[in-house]
Amino acid sequence: MKREGYDCICSRCGKNIKLLFRPNRDLPIYCKRCYILSLTETINNSVKILKQDLDDRGIEQGVQLLVFNIKRFGSLPGQFSTINEVKKGVFKRIKEEIKDKNKVEKILILFERLFERLY
Ligand SMILES: [Zn+2]
Query: How many residues are there in the chain?
Result: 119
Lowest average pLDDT, out of 24-28, 40-44, 99-103, goes to 24-28
Residue 30: closest CA among 66, 81, 67: 81
The pLDDT mean for the chain works out to 86
Give 84 Cα–ligand 1 centroid separation in angstroms. 23
Give 23 Cα–ligand 1 centroid separation in angstroms. 15
Give 15 Cα–ligand 1 centroid separation in angstroms. 6
**What are the backbone dihedrals phi and psi of residue 8, each rounded to the nearest 5 degrees, phi first?**
-140, 170
Give 32 Cα–ligand 1 centroid separation in angstroms. 7
Domains of the chain by residue range = 30-118
Give 31 Cα–ligand 1 centroid separation in angstroms. 4
Indicate whether 76 pLDDT > 60. yes
Residue 17: closest CA among 40, 34, 37: 34
The residue with greater pLDDT, 3 or 98, is 98
Q: What integer is the mean pLDDT of 68-93?
A: 78
Residue at 50: amino acid letter: L
pLDDT at 21: 77
pLDDT at 91: 92
Q: What CA–CA distance (Å, rounded) separates 61 from 57?
A: 6
> How does pLDDT run across 46-64, given as a tens digit for each residue?
999 999 999 999 999 999 9
Q: What is the pTM of this model?
A: 0.78
Beta-strand (E) ranges in 1-119? 6-9, 16-19
